[in-house]
């Protein structure tokens, strides 16, 4: 071999070593690709050649050792390749367990492809570096892996808008770094783990539109950072914990369309941090608490379709701002107070009650 050839060969070898993902990562990705079909954009056409770290759409590697660390495939994306003109994103197939040999993966996002079915590979819980697991908007069936709690540094768990069944695994409370939990719009049944309050970093807990039963766990009210709680459209019963009203950063509370009974805790309408409260379509009884003040500020309070009774509390007209108020379809009676917060409401905010009267209703007092 002459010097020039030697140089060319070693340079090429060196380049290959520096630029290539390890063959094991490459073959795991190719097995993942072969279990999926993406007919509209051809994103997997870019998954070719030996160097999976360069130009493979949605794949990124650790720059120091070229191990695959991110797979980010979003159907709803602004990327050029996801050409919005005329074509909608769609992918069928399933998530290959070959993913689980990508043991340096920190981000797995396979979102909004509408047609990916099959189950979540259970071995996914053995990926020790996983921080973001987002499979929203597919047709995934089966259950959440029992030992999901092994993903100790997970911060985002999003399985929303799939067809997941079974219960919320008790081990989920071991996800001590979890900030965002979204299991909305699946067919998950059983109770919310009573020790869910162990998820002390959680700021969003979105469990709406499932088949959850049992009551609102008191421990959830101990989560200091919780800003958004959505348990709507389930079969949750019991009373509304008054402690929800003393949560320091809770801003949105959706408990609508459940089987909650008992009275509305005064603390909830007193909580000046709360901005949106929907308790519609439950079996709540008692009066509307007389707790409104000039610092009361809500974008939305919906208490419609309950069994609330009594008159409109005198303090209601002192509220600083209530953007949308719905008290319809209860058993309220008496005069609707006059005053600035009431001027923008329409009759539909008060309709379907026993004997409410005055503006904006047609019925005079």
- Minimum separation from the CB atom of position 329 to ligand NAG (A): 11
Size of the site for ligand NAG (CB under 6 A): 14
- Minimum separation from the CB atom of position 171 to ligand NAG (A): 25
Question: Cα torsion at 308, 311, 316, 318 (round to 10°)?
Answer: -170
Cα gap 234→215, rounded to integer Å: 11
- Minimum separation from the CB atom of position 306 to ligand NAG (A): 11
Cα gap 264→313, rounded to integer Å: 14
Residue 178 and residue 149 in contact, taking contact as beta carbons nearer than 8 Å = no
Q: What is the distance between the terminal CA atoms of the chain, rounded to a whole angstrom?
A: 105
- Minimum separation from the CB atom of position 115 to ligand NAG (A): 9
315 forms part of the interface with ligand NAG (CB under 6 A)? no
Nearer to ligand NAG, 141 or 311 (CB): 141
232 forms part of the interface with ligand NAG (CB under 6 A)? yes
Cα gap 238→331, rounded to integer Å: 21
Pairing relation of β-strands 331-335 and 297-302?
Answer: unpaired
Give strand pairing partners of 285. 263
- Minimum separation from the CB atom of position 364 to ligand NAG (A): 28
Residue 295 and residue 310 in contact, taking contact as beta carbons nearer than 8 Å = no
Task: Give residues 159-218 in contact with ligand NAG (rule: CB under 6 A).
Answer: 163
Nearer to ligand NAG, 92 or 171 (CB): 92
282 forms part of the interface with ligand NAG (CB under 6 A)? no
Contact pick of 32, 256, 303, 308 for ligand NAG (by CB under 6 A): 256
In the complex, the residues that contact ligand NAG under the rule CB under 6 A are 117, 139, 141, 163, 232-233, 256-257, 278, 280-281, 300, 302, 324
């Amino acid at each position: 071999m002459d010097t020039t050839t030697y140089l060319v060969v070693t340079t090429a070898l060196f380049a290959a070593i520096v630029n290539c993902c390890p063959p094991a990562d490459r073959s795991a990705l190719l097995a993942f690709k072969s279990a999926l079909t993406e007919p509209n954009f051809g994103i997997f056409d870019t998954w070719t050649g030996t160097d999976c770290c360069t130009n493979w759409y949605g794949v990124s590697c650790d720059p120091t050792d070229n191990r695959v660390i991110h797979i980010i495939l979003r159907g709803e994306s602004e990327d050029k390749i996801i050409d919005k003109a005329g074509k909608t994103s769609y992918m069928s197939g399933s998530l290959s367990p070959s993913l689980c040999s990508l043991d340096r993966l920190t981000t797995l996002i396979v979102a909004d492809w509408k047609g990916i079915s099959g189950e979540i590979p259970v071995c996914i819980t053995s990926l020790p570096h996983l921080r973001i697991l987002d499979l929203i908007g597919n047709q995934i069936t089966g259950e959440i892996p029992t030992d999901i709690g092994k993903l100790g540094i997970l911060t985002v768990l999003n399985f929303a808008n799939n067809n997941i069944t079974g219960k919320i695994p008790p081990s989920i409370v071991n996800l001590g770094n979890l900030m965002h939990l979204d299991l909305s719009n699946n067919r998950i049944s059983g109770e919310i783990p009573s020790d869910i309050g162990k998820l002390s970093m959680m700021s969003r807990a979105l469990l709406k539109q499932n088949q959850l039963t049992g009551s609102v766990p008191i421990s959830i009210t101990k989560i200091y950072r919780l800003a958004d709680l959505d348990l709507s459209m389930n079969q949750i019963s019991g009373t509304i914990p008054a402690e929800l009203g003393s949560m320091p950063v809770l801003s949105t509370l959706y408990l609508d369309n459940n089987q909650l009974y008992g009275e509305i805790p005064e603390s909830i309408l007193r909580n000046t941090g709360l901005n949106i409260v929907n308790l519609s379509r439950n079996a709540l009884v008692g009066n509307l608490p007389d707790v409104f003040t000039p610092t009361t500020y809500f974008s939305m309070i919906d208490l419609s379709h309950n069994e609330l009774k009594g008159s409109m509390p005198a303090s209601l007209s002192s509220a600083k701002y209530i953007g949308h108020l719905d008290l319809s379809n209860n058993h309220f009676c008496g005069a609707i107070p006059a005053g600035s917060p009431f001027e923008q409401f329409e009759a539909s905010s008060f309709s379907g009650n026993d004997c409410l009267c005055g503006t904006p209703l047609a019925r005079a007092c």
